Amino acid sequence: MKYQDVPLLVDNMSEVGSVSIPSLSAPAISWQKCYSDSGVDFRGENIQLTHDGGYVLCGSNGFGTADFGVVKLSSTGSIQWQKCYSNTGWDAANCIQQTSDGGYIVAGQTHGTVTGGHGGYTDCLVVKLDSAGNIQWQKYYGGSDSDGVTSIQQTSDDGYIFTGYTRSCDGDVAGCHGQFDYWVVKLTNTGDIQWRKCYGSDWDEEPTNIQETTDGGFIVVGYAMTNYGDVTGNHGGEDFWVVKLTSTGDIQWEECLGGSGKDLPTNIQQTSDGGYIVGGSTSSIDGDVVGNHNIPSDFAEDVWVVKLTSTGGIQWNKCLGGSNDERLADIHQTSDGGYIVGGSTSSIDGDVVGNHNVPSDYAEDMWVVKLSPTGGISWKKCYGGKHCDYIYGIQQTSDDGYIISGYIESSDGDMTGVQGGTYWWMGKLAGTSSSPTITSHHRS
């Protein structure tokens, strides 16, 4: 397969709003930008800080036949470059990270007949880019069924570790349990497989995030639904399933977290004390879950944040939300030892203040919550308008502010200066409270 760089956003995308707006609570929005286009649908589903103080995002572009999309932004949100990597079928880029050489590693899944693929419904696809977004190498991994990457990271030996899902039992996949398994693959710096392992049972398990740990091993989180195979301690239905691996992929310990409802994790990070912070959503009111604001329902979930020790024991856990639906998109430890939580809410009660919507599963505000090191709420804020606005990712910036990537449908409320329609949105939260004057400009 030959990838082609397609002018994706420069000609068709325009910054339709660049707005500084007053904040109802700390921190204030220092700037926000929307990006629209006439021919593609870009969703920046993974945002990472870059060495130059800017940002890089990956996502998918287009309807029906989607492509990998990568966009590099300056520190103020201006587009520096963007690339679309096309295939004969559809592709989705799920994760990206800047590498030590200034380039990028991006991964997801591809569907279609490609040279080097394995002929399954989907294959894992990993692409190494240089600093300008040009392809240095790309490789496919998997078997004759469905495979995809959900998280990738450069490792301390300059190789890569990725986790994803697999339903294959052939090709690159060995040790499958049946149905969907966690699949963890260690790569060299040129993309060759060093080792690969399957973890799970004869039910479905799907990982969402992997991180290298300070001992040279790895921590993986996803969900599990049973007590068979590698999985123990399931509470019923989907649980957070946390698996600690050695440097060669052997299981050191594994823990199921949750209750009898649906508990779905988003990501995990090793914390400064050697433990872990894991976040997601829950509809449980029993088991490990304390303080859920909802009657159990697949359509009424709280954000759920769990702090673990280095061996997987629960130190504390916190439900965040109201009587309607909340979803977590991203969580990270901050420089003060606390945590920043980004997601969406359709509640107007409980922990939620200032929602712009009448409660509805289909009208959500962006919701940002700052937690203390012990899980107390330091501050919280809703951003949005009367339509659906939600966060894809949030990261703390070098000035102790925060950068948010999201998707908006509103053109009112906080989204002053934005034309009607749906847009990929970027917002910068300042490090201190302020009430800036409203300014707006449009780029022709």
Q: What is the DSSP string of 137-170?
A: EEEEE--SSBEEEEEEEE-TTS-EEEEEEE--SS
> What are the tokens at 76?
């103020």
Whether pLDDT at 4 is above 50: no
> What are the tokens at 53?
């103080």
Q: What is the pLDDT of residues 353-366, one digit of tens each?
A: 999 887 655 689 99
Bridge partners of 245, per DSSP, are 218, 251
Beta strand extents in 167-275 (DSSP E only): 181-187, 193-199, 205-212, 218-224, 239-245, 251-257, 263-270
Confidence of residue 79 (pLDDT cuts 50, 70, 90): very high
At residue 92, what are phi and psi to the nearest 5 degrees?
-135, 125
Task: Mean pLDDT check: name the lowest of 47-51, 165-169, 248-252, 358-362.
Answer: 358-362
CB–CB of 303/279 below 8 Å? yes
Output the pLDDT for position 86.
72
How far the first Cα of the chain sits from its last, in Å, is 36
pTM (2 d.p.): 0.90
Confidence of residue 40 (pLDDT cuts 50, 70, 90): very low
Q: What is the pLDDT of residues 416-428, one digit of tens each?
A: 666 666 788 899 9
Output the pLDDT for position 13.
39
Q: How far apart are CA 138 and CA 153, in angstroms?
A: 15
Q: How far apart are CA 233 and CA 216, in angstroms?
A: 26
Output the pLDDT for position 298.
54
Q: How far apart are CA 119 and CA 143, in angstroms?
A: 7
Q: How far apart are CA 182 and CA 207, in angstroms?
A: 6
Confidence of residue 434 (pLDDT cuts 50, 70, 90): very low
Residue 218 CA to its chain's centroid (Å)? 18
Distance set, CA 301 to CA 145, 257, 288, 388 (Å):
32, 16, 15, 17
Distance set, CA 396 to CA 19, 236, 334 (Å):
20, 35, 7
CB–CB of 61/83 below 8 Å? no
Q: Percent of the chain, pLDDT > 70?
A: 82
Q: Is 287 left (phi over 0), alpha (psi -120 to 50) or beta?
A: left
Beta strand extents in 10-134 (DSSP E only): 14-19, 29-36, 43-49, 55-61, 67-73, 79-85, 90-98, 104-111, 123-129
Say whether 142 sits in a helix, a strand or coil: coil
Q: What is the pLDDT of residues 114-125, one digit of tens each?
A: 656 666 678 999
Task: State the residue for tokens 């420089």.
Answer: 335
Residue 213 CA to its chain's centroid (Å)? 19
- Mean pLDDT on 303-314: 98
Say whether 358 sits in a helix, a strand or coil: coil
Output the pLDDT for position 38.
39
Whether residue 27 has a cis bond before it, omega within 30° of 0? yes
**CA atoms within 13 Å, Cβ hemisphere of 371:** 25
